Amino acid sequence: MPSEAELVQRASQRDAAAFGELYSVYLNKVYRYIYYKVGNATEAEDLTEQVFLQAWEAIDRYRQQGAPFAAWLFRLAHNRVIDYHRTLKSPAPLDPSLEDRRPGPEEVVARRLDAQALQQAIKHLSEEQQQVILLRFVEGMSHAEVGAIIGKGEGAVRSIQYRALLALREILGQGYQG
């Protein structure tokens, strides 16, 4: 089984099969990150594919930057989502099941969190706070890894994490009032 570094090395030499393996490894992670940002499964699938096509086009530039591959990929995903929101004419989600609403406190207490409630809640956070919540607690990355993606030091990530959890608690209401 080749290491990630080997796969990246081969992919940067235009080895499509190696890039396909990297895609298999990161497909679900990148999809999940995008899904929470756009709230629509079909859009998330399309944007995920776009991110990887863009990654294939730009993998030479990644090699020159020397950042961890995951950090580079999530940065591409983040920028793609920003472009998507910028060009979105109608902010209404296509999935009728994902209408914009904040979950009521009783609802949250009753069923705790599910993906839809979390998606609805985090979109009320700032861009940085969303990134930290998703990367830290959904993707399970360390403070350092998150810092590499959002371009901040570990101390700054810890501060954003604290403020993000406070804000999320505020949004989700009673269930998390202590």
Partner 1 sequence: MSDIELVLAECLVAIEKQQDTIEGCLARHPDLAGELAPLLRLAADVRAVPAVQPSPTFQQAAVPRLLNLIRAREAARVAPAPAAPAGFWQRLWGWRPNRALLVRVVLALLIVALLSGGSVATAQSLPDSPLYPVKRAAEQVRLNLTLTEIQRAKRLLDFADERAREIIVAARLNKPLVAERALRDYEGALLLAGSKLSQEWATGRDVRPVMKALLVRLDRQQAALEKALPQTPPRSKAVLIEAIVVTRRAHERASEFLQNNP
Q: Is 140 left (phi over 0), alpha (psi -120 to 50) or beta?
A: left
Residue choice 7, 8, 52, 130 for contact with partner 1 (CB under 8 A): 52
82 in Cβ contact with 38 (< 8 Å): no
Pick the piece of the chain touching partner 1 (CB under 8 A) from 2-10, 45-53, 63-71, 99-107: 45-53
Binding positions for partner 1, 132-151, rule CB under 8 A: 133, 136-138, 140, 142-143
Distance CA 39, CA 95 (A): 8
- DSSP letter at 170 equals H
Q: How far is the CB of 65 from partner 1 (least distance, A)?
A: 21
Please give the single-letter amino acid code of residue 117: A
Q: Which two tokens stand for residue 49?
A: 């594919």
Interface with partner 1 includes 28 (CB under 8 A)? yes
DSSP summary character for residue 67: -
Report CA torsion sign: 69, 74, 75, 81.
Answer: positive
115 scored as a contact of partner 1 (CB under 8 A): yes
End-to-end CA distance of the chain: 47
CB-hemisphere CA count at 13 Å for 53? 7
The region of 14-22, 65-73, 99-107, 124-132 touching partner 1 under the rule CB under 8 A is 14-22
18 binds partner 1 (CB under 8 A): no
128 counts as binding partner 1 under rule CB under 8 A: no
Residues forming the site for partner 1 (CB under 8 A): 14, 16-17, 19-20, 23-24, 27-28, 31-32, 35-36, 40-46, 48-50, 52-54, 56-57, 89, 94-95, 112-115, 118, 133, 136-138, 140, 142-143, 155, 158-159, 161-162, 165-166, 168-169, 172, 176-178
